[in-house]
Structure 1
Amino acid sequence: MARDVLALDAAGRRWSLLAAAVCLLPLLLQLPMPRSVAIAIAGAIAAAMASRRATPGWLRAILALAVFGLILAQGGMNFGRDTGCALLAGMLAIKPSELRSVRDARSLLGFALFAPFATFLLDQGPLSLVLGLAGAILALAALARLSEQESALPAIEMRHVARIGTVARLVAIGLPLALAAFWLFPRLATPLWGIPEMSAARPGLSDEMSPGDWLDLIADDTPAMRVSFRGPEPTTREMYWRGPTLTDYDGRSWTASPWLRSLPPAEVEHGAPTWDYEITLEPTERNLLVALEMPLELPQGMRGAHEYTLTSARRLDRITRWTLRSAPPVRFEADLPDPMRRLALRLPPDFNPRTRALAQQWRAETSNDGAIVDRALAWIRGEFAYTLDTPLPGRHAVDEFLFDYKAGFCEHFSSAFTVLMREAGIPARVVTGYTGGTRNAYGNYWIVRRMDAHAWSEVWLEGRGWVRVDPTAAVAPERIYDTLEDRLGTGGAGAAGGLLPIADLGDWARRMWNDFMLGFDAERQQRMLQRVGFENIDTGGLIGLFSLCAALALGWMLWLVARSERERDPLLRAWHRLGRRYARLGLGRARHEPALAWARRVQAARPGESPLLILTKRFIAARYAPAASDTTLIHALRVHRPAPESDR
């Protein structure tokens, strides 16, 4: 068979399949479970089909169409970053169906190396990096095994661990250059290109709240952000992390007003105490931000709308860090302009007639807005229950909630309460965000999870302005029937449950990774350089420093590669080690000195060294003779030691 179609042997096939599977693993872990399972099954089928004989082209085509069709059926025809990664994983999974020759194996391994890089488009965590590095090392080891098979030289038996160790040393050779690029390459304030969007949006806060939308969000216990306080900390009851404010209501959904987004933040009079904190926000694929009520000032890159809906200038497709200072509000927009008042009272006609009648009755009985608010909260406290098991509402959603089933979660309470207040003539709006948090047992920070998402109301009262009212919190404890913690069986500990200490340790490790790796930005780069004596180094100086370190790293790499090339042959390596033993006695071989002349010189100086002359002749024969084969020579060179001084 020709060299380029050399049949793949069993060992090469095992190495190639193992490396491809490990490269694919981190990508599968980031895809939705149904897609991952389908792709893994397709990969097993493809590998099994080609294990004994060549797979017909028509059968490979059917398998490819089935995999691609299943991926598109599960994700719809919405193409995005996750769909592209799934298609890549599917192509890699069915690639082993044509694995017959060494050329096919090389093609598979080259293609497999794209999978770890695609994984980093979905996740940049430590597990993805470790699995990706393991896949790359195994792929290089498999390529080394293919080279052994394809080489015209006699096959050299090498243990699997030794082969992986050789590849690991090659990876270590490039480590100085990688570290120089990570630490010293100038960090850009903004990326040169954007990352494509996900076709399926992640659960998270948005500028719209519709019935049933929040079930996916509050069922997700992954971290939304981590918060570190400097100095005093608020109690969990004070931790209202303000997000989008929703003012427009169409009878079913609440949305943010585009008009208010264009206006500057309203005036806020802050009270005490003041909280200084840093938020590390997980990627959301949106530009919405949150802050503890109420921020005193906004950092660079953060913009606040009139109602303090906070946004970022760019989409949050990576981990971001925000340093803020907040204090509880005493007065929030104490003077409400007429256009704002009309907006905060506007309701669609012909919706919720029973709610309108009740509100008009309450208004007829009192002109005190605060009394109406208290009356509504007392009603909730006395008759309403908290549960996640609620039906989807009909046309008159608020009427059904307030007068029929009287049970729901924050989405229902905030929406119904706000409509009730507007019907009574009190300006009101819905605010979404997060409440509370969980302190990590191993780090001085709080974890706020997506399941901590919450919606509450704000009403405008004379002399105070906008005042937070949380109708969900008014539910009596004995009528809290069905919570997310109950469904997960965790007793309020999130998905970790009884494994909370282990979960805290894992989250602490992830936070450290975020801080020292993913959060290594231009500011931290400057601080690192200042600690080693480079004060206020500019971009030009940084490029020069990087170029110098990169040149040194490249020189180190070239020297090690050249040295390893000389030492690749185990026979030559054993011979050089033998020479170093004699050099320690002052009998080393000069660079210009032939091997046989050196051995005779040593024997003349030390008559007891006759074995060295015999070994040297064997080495010359094995090294240069046309068809010499001395299977015991390497071992003999390794075990030979210069004769002791007393034996001369």
Structure 2
Amino acid sequence: MTTPMSSTRISSTRIRLDPRSRATVLIAGAACVLPLLLRLEPKLAIGTAVAGVAVAIGAWRRPLPAWLRVMLALGLAVAVFATMGVNFGRDTGCAILAAMLAVKPAETDSVRDGRSLLGFALFAPFATFLLDQVPLSLVLGLVAVVCALLAMQRLSDLESGELQDEVAWWKRLAGVGRMLALGLPIALAAFWLFPRLATPLWGVPDRAQARPGLADSMSPSDWEDMALDDTPAARVRFFGNTPSQSQMYFRGPVFSDYDGRTWSRARWAVAYPVAPVRSGRTRWDYELSMEPTDRRQLVALDVPLAAPANAFLGEDRALRVERPLDSVTRWRMRSGEVARFGDTTLAPFLRTRNLALPEGFNPRTVALARQWRQDAGTDDAAIVNRALDWIRRDFGYTLQITLAGRNAVDQFLFVDKRGYCEQFAGSFVVLMRAAGIPARVVGGYAGAEYNAVGEYWVVRRSDAHAWAEVWLADRGWTRIDPTAAVAPENVFDTLADRRADGGLMASLQPVWDVGDWALNGWNEFVLGFNAERQRALFRPFGLGDIDTELLLMLFSLIALTCLAATVWLLSRDARERDPLLRAWHRLGRRYAKLGLARAPHEPALDWARRVDRARTGGDAALRALGERFSRWRYGVRRGEAVEGLNALLRDLRAHRP
């Protein structure tokens, strides 16, 4: 009987990693933790990376002492809690995972240790998707999985004693590619067919909460950060008519309440009947894709004619949704040019609320407005035009503002006379209210950039804007943008002025268009594939919506089919995976053509001796190969060089009867 191979091999806990294998394991571990580090706080990520490199260098020759490993783990844990606070949420858990992986190389010395490190490291790229689901995370995650599989392949060869350095890297990579290809159909079936939850198990991503959104209130300098943020807030694709850029006002929250400093959204607007709109001939049909934010405020081209599904309109025709827009969402909408916005007369309640001003604030503004009212009589439009002419003549636009005190509007209108949209809109509305004209502030976005590659418009957070609406008897609510009235020669400090690389950015615009088009595709086809779209997956084929039970049945059927195909593909090739056995069996088939085949029960050395006796003149070369094969295959090989296996393989392949 032959001795079982496993009984004579050295345990994986006793096989030390050679330098090349150790480097392979550490590189694969670093590739796994990299996408997670990119989603952590920068200081914490850099500290964790530096600690990991230091530990790997310190433990290169031998594992670090147990007490030092404990101290390192505790130190990194303290750093995590000091940076993120003492809580045990998802973000903290991901940071702790990265910290522990940085310490793991301190005890990585054997094949078993290497497998342990790789097994834990593979949790890191998957944990990254709990924090953010950007395309970069997917690409880095795939690279990490490939590196980990290549490292595991090398550890397997090292443990079996069949490590062959002459195997080309692309052959190993091709083997990993075959493994991934076998699992791809099941992964795609799980993505398309496995029933999805309406909301993620882990709740609102903190990264979404960190993104600026249109808030329910507006105070001086609140939007300064958004003005410098060029990331997309929404993307708009028009079907048919497309408005000009000057018409692209995207309506967000409407601020009717004012306390002397802060404008706030009126809570009562949701319960009050929606103001009617009589639209003109021009209408716009479009799809708006909103980027994630922590707000429930939806924007629409001014003015939306109706609320899309799962959204609702307030009295001021501002759109809101039931839950925060914490993922990419798509909305089909219709808007139009307004012939009249509101009833023929403004309800007393609405008139009172949109004329209200706090007592004791901005006396100079109030006095000026009353003087204008006396001069204009009942002509509200004359007062509006007089204010716009004043702005056009004496005011300038800048992002640099001074901190105002109690009478902020007086400071802006009579002293500074420079500011940006928040100050222009807020001060204009105060002036109108003091003159007896109902007015309110509207927040949203103004303008957009056309992406010629994707054929859609990009609304950026830096496009955040505030304008005014005044009530005029013949038109109802009318949009007035006092910021746009500033004369071009009085525009001093803008976002474009702060970009020293404006020319370079303009030359790279086609590159950014391609990148944004790719990101938009990712948002639509991956992140935007939610439970609702899954139910409608087969609607184009005339099958209507499918329920959860049918989805589960289809997924199970496809998964079982894929598993059966995988088993068949793996079993149809009867060749040995062991390169030594494969070479030995090929040698046996050569002798079988001479009628000297090895019997299935016959040991290798006995067969070689029988062939030596049967052949005229003997076959000493086969006997020598049989002895070497038996010694390598079934003997104890402690300390035997890999070159011995490589030489045996070459001789087996070269030998001919």
How high is the TM-score relative to the length of structure 1? Answer: 0.85
2:360 aligns with 350
Q: Which residue of 2 aligns with 1:508?
A: 517
Find the partner of 1:419 among 430, 447, 452: 430
Q: Given residue 355 of structure 2, which amino acid in structure 1 is its aligned partner?
A: L
Query: For residue 318 of structure 2, what is the aligned residue in structure 1?
Result: 309
Post-superposition offset of 1:28? 2.8
Question: C-alpha distance in 2, partners of 1:67/1:621?
Answer: 52
Contact 2:154 2:163 (8 Å CA) reproduced: no
Matches within 5 A, 1:335-484: 335-367=345-377, 368-484=379-495
Q: CA deviation at 1:301?
A: 1.0
How far apart, CA to CA, are the structure 1 residues paired with 2:318 and 2:351? 18
Partner residue of 2:154?
145
Deviates more, 1:158-167 or 1:56-65: 56-65
In the alignment, residue 492 of structure 2 is paired with which amino acid? Y
In the other structure, the counterpart of 2:276 is 267
Distance 1:544 1:283 in 2: 32
Q: Could you tell me whether the CA contact under 8 Å between 2:132 and 2:207 is conserved in 1?
A: no
Find out whether 1:622 has 2:629 as its counterpart: yes
| Residue 23 of structure 1: aligned partner | 32
Measured at CA, do residues 570 and 538 of structure 1 come closer, stay the same or move farther in structure 2, by a change above 3 Å?
same
1:282 maps to 2:291: yes
Q: Which moved more, 1:192-201 or 1:273-282?
A: 192-201
Q: In the superposition, relative to structure 1, how do residues 534 and 349 fare at CA in structure 2: closer, same or farther (>3 Å)?
A: closer
Structure 2 letter corresponding to 1:488:
R
Q: Which moved more, 1:160-169 or 1:267-276?
A: 160-169
The separation in 2 between residues aligned to 1:188 and 1:485, in whole angstroms, is 43
- 1:396–1:612 Cα change, 3 Å: farther
Superposed CA deviations along residues 422-472 of structure 1, whole A, max 9, x for unmatched, are 222211111111111111121211111111111111111113221111111
Find 2:192's aligned residue among 160, 169, 183.
Answer: 183
The superposition leaves residues 169-225 of structure 1 with CA deviations (integer Å, 9 ceiling, x where unpaired) of: 222211111112222334455556634545962112111212222111111111111
Quick check: 1:78–1:199 contact (8 Å CA) kept in 2?
Answer: no
Deviation of 1:234 (Å):
0.4
Q: 1:487 and 2:494 equivalent?
A: no
Distance 1:191 1:37, change over 3 A: closer
Amino acid at match of 1:455: A
Is the 2:164–2:646 Cα contact (8 Å) retained in structure 1? no
Residue 270 (structure 1) shift: 1.6
Cα deviation for residue 314 of structure 1 reads 2.3
* 1:291 aligns to 2:300 (yes or no): yes
- The one-letter amino acid of 2:118's match is L
**CA distance in structure 2 between the aligned counterparts of 1:240 and 1:152, rounded to whole angstroms:** 68
Amino acid at match of 2:471: W
SS at match of 1:382: helix
Question: Counterpart amino acid of 2:363?
Answer: P
Any conservation in 2 of the 1:344–1:427 contact (CA below 8 Å)? yes
Q: Which residue of 2 aligns with 1:607?
A: none
SS at match of 1:30: coil
Question: Which stretch has the larger CA shift, 22-31 or 507-516?
Answer: 22-31
CA contact (8 A) 1:80 1:198 kept: no
Task: For 2:174 and 2:60, locate their aligned partners in 1 and report how far apart those are by CA, in whole Å.
Answer: 28
Q: Tell me the SS of whatever aligns to 2:354.
A: helix
Distance 1:530 1:579 in 2: 59
Change (3 A) 1:533 1:572: farther
Choose the corresponding residue for 1:89, options 79, 82, 98: 98
The CA deviation string for residues 262-319 of structure 1, in whole angstroms up to 9 with x for no partner, is 3342222222311111011111122221111112222211122221221222222211
SS at structure 2 position matched to 1:487: coil
Secondary structure of 1:507's counterpart equals helix
Q: 1:2 to 1:567 in 2, by over 3 A?
A: closer
Which segment drifts farther, 421-430 or 87-96? 87-96
Question: CA separation of 1:412/1:67 partners in 2, compared to 1, >3 Å: closer, same or farther?
Answer: farther
Q: Does 1:133 align with 2:142?
A: yes
Given the alignment, which residue of 195, 213, 216 partners 1:204?
213
Contact 1:432 1:454 in 2 (8 A): yes
Q: Which AA in structure 2 matches 1:622?
A: F
Aligned partner of 1:554 in structure 2 is 563
Distance 1:331 1:569, change over 3 A: same
Identity of aligned residues (%): 52
Per the alignment, do residues 108 and 626 of structure 1 end up closer, same or farther by CA in structure 2, a change over 3 Å counting? closer
Once residues 442 and 530 of structure 1 are traced to their aligned partners in structure 2, the CA distance between those partners, rounded to angstroms, is 28
Partners of 2:438 and 2:331 lie apart in 1 by 32
* Structure 1 range deviating more: 190-199 or 374-383: 190-199
Counterpart of 1:360 in structure 2: which amino acid?
A: R
Aligned residue in 2 for 1:325 = 334
Give the Cα–Cα distance (whole angstroms) in 1 for the partners of residues 56 and 175 of structure 2. Answer: 28
Structure 2 counterpart of 1:301, one-letter code: N
Q: Is the 8 A contact 1:82 1:200 kept in 2?
A: no
Q: Tell me the equivalent position of 1:118.
A: 127
Instruction: State the one-letter code of the partner of 1:381.
Output: R
Supply the AA of the counterpart residue of 1:347: L
Q: Check 1:465–1:179 CA distance in 2 against 1; reply closer, same or farther (3 A cut).
A: same
Task: Note closer, same or farther for the CA distance 1:569–1:240 as it changes in structure 2 (3 Å cut).
Answer: same
- The 1:480–1:251 alpha-carbon spacing in structure 2 relative to 1, beyond 3 Å, is same
Structure 2 SS opposite 1:296: coil
Tell me the amino acid that sits aligned with residue 461 of structure 2: R
**Contact 1:578–1:638 (Cα < 8 Å) also in 2:** yes
Consecutive unaligned residues of structure 2, counting only runs of 5 or more, are: 1-9, 612-616, 638-643
Cα deviation, residue 531, structure 1: 6.0
Q: Secondary structure at the match of 1:351?
A: coil
Is contact 1:224-1:449 (8 Å) kept? yes
- 1:203 match: secondary structure: coil
Query: Which segment is superposed worse, 320-329 or 167-176?
Result: 167-176
Aligned-pair CA distance for 1:258: 1.6
Q: Distance in 2 between matches of 1:498 and 1:177?
A: 43
CA shift digits 1:568-594 (9 cap, x unpaired):
2123445677899999x9x9x999899
Secondary structure of the structure 1 residue equivalent to 2:282: coil
CA distance in 2, matches of 1:318, 1:377: 40
Structure 1 gap ranges (5+)? 604-609, 643-648
Q: 1:520 corresponds to which residue?
A: 529
On the 8 A contact 1:615/1:637 being kept in 2, the answer is: no
Equivalent positions of 1:32-181 (< 5 A) are: 32-52=41-61, 54-55=63-64, 67=76, 82=91, 84-149=93-158, 151=159, 153-157=161-165, 158-181=167-190
Secondary structure of 2:305 counterpart? strand
2: CA distance, partners of 1:320 / 1:285: 13
| Deviation (angstroms), 1:108 | 3.1
In the alignment, what sits opposite 2:7? none
Structure 1 508/257 Cα, relative in aligned 2: closer, same or farther at 3 Å?
same
